[in-house]
Amino acid sequence: MGFNDLLEKVGGVGRFQILNTAMLLLPMFYMACHNFLQNFSAAVPAHRCKVPLIDNGTTGYNHGAVISFIPVIENQKLVSCLRYKNAQFGIWTNNSSANVTEPCEDGWVYDKTIFSSTVITEWDLVCNFQKMKQIAQSIYMAGVLVGAVLLGGLSDRFGRKKLLIGSYLAMALFGTCVAFLPKFVYYCIFRFLCGMAFSGIALNTISLILEWMPPKGRTVAGTLFAYSFTVGQVQLAGLAYAIRDWRWLQFTVFSTSFVFYGLSTDLQKFDMSIFLLQLVFGGVDIPAKLLCAISMSHLGRRVTQCACLILAGVTMLAIAFVPQGEILVSSQNNKETNLKHKKNLNDNAAFSC
């Protein structure tokens, strides 16, 4: 008699399975926050070169006098990475015949209308350093990959419960430490460790849920596991809207993890509110995972996952051929936005499988 047969013989889906699933899913509500947090903590606000003559710490991004020192483009938007070259006697000018410009040698001034502080403004990761944001997210995803390979094997050897508890503690500890780190390189290192902990939590949670669930209840249990990420995405939009300082947001998201341990993208490229987009991307999960659960019940897991992954890949390829700023007749959003929502729906459906 196999273990699945034994589960059916002792009653199938019972109180233990329900409580086991519920308790394991509670911490998962915060896992999506970890994956998508950098959309807000590393948001790139509007910025311009600092002009020592007028920027004394009290002036803001839209100071009226900067137009004489900073080049502008269409709609009188200030150029982000250049200023007019310093002339003799410390005077900048935009009246020279050459209008010679130079990089931002004295730093930058940021628009704090939306975010009071982000990783970008903390360490001036703009202009020549703008790729550091993507590098930081790539380092985090590398941690997810390493964690999946390393912790997956260790959980088979030492037990899922031990690795799960250890991953909980690591996520809370490393994630909270990120909020207090003084240098970008330390930020990347600890984000890598958070990525490893994320894999340990996600892999061991779904394994413990499904291993103790009789076959007839696994489709529903897997769908509930996927929906826990949906809750996390929607929750993150609210938290980020309320907390505009990246260190406090980081601390809030990760410090709550201790309760449970004792307890994509880059959204700014869309021409919409980043908070609304996070809410929409989370909301897309609801129909995607519901349809996925129905499909798995009738067509099977393999067919459903293959179909969703193919659709996601086709949509991703289609995005590359959409002109930036192309407008749909029935919407103010461009085609790229709509296609990326469709890709997100397909990705989430595939994840549910």
Q: For 142-192, what is each residue's pLDDT tens digit?
A: 999 999 999 888 888 888 888 988 888 898 889 889 989 999 999 999 999
The pLDDT value recorded for residue 266 is 44
Question: Span 282-302, mean pLDDT?
Answer: 71
**Tens-digit pLDDT profile for residues 302-349:** 777 677 667 766 766 676 666 655 433 333 344 444 444 444 544 444
Strands of 26-155, DSSP E: 47-49, 82-84, 101-103, 108-110
* 301/167: higher pLDDT: 167
The pLDDT value recorded for residue 142 is 93
**Tens-digit pLDDT profile for residues 85-127:** 763 334 555 454 456 788 888 888 888 888 899 999 999 999 9
The pLDDT value recorded for residue 145 is 92
Q: pTM of the prediction?
A: 0.70
The pLDDT value recorded for residue 31 is 78
**Tens-digit pLDDT profile for residues 197-227:** 999 998 998 888 888 888 888 888 888 888 8
CA 273/CA 337 separation, integer angstroms = 12
- The number of C-alpha atoms within 13 Å of 337 and in the hemisphere containing its C-beta is 20
Dihedral sign of CA atoms 98, 103, 105, 108 in order: positive
Copy the structure tokens of residue 148: 């999946």
The pLDDT value recorded for residue 50 is 84
Task: Name the average pLDDT for the chain.
Answer: 76
Q: Which amino acid is at 139?
A: I
Across 331-342, b (16+ Cβ under 10 Å) vs e yields eebbbbbbbbbb
C-beta of residue 322 within 8 angstroms of C-beta of residue 336: yes
Across 290-328, b (16+ Cβ under 10 Å) vs e yields eebbebbeeeebeebbebbbebbeebeeeeeeeeeeeee
Most confident of 92-101, 132-141, 263-272: 132-141
* 258/142: higher pLDDT: 142
The pLDDT value recorded for residue 193 is 94
Question: Span 295-300, mean pLDDT?
Answer: 75
The pLDDT value recorded for residue 282 is 62
Query: Percent of the chain having pLDDT more than 90?
Result: 14
Does 74 score more than 90 pLDDT? Answer: no
Copy the structure tokens of residue 282: 């989370």
The pLDDT value recorded for residue 278 is 62
Does 286 score more than 60 pLDDT? Answer: yes
The pLDDT value recorded for residue 301 is 67
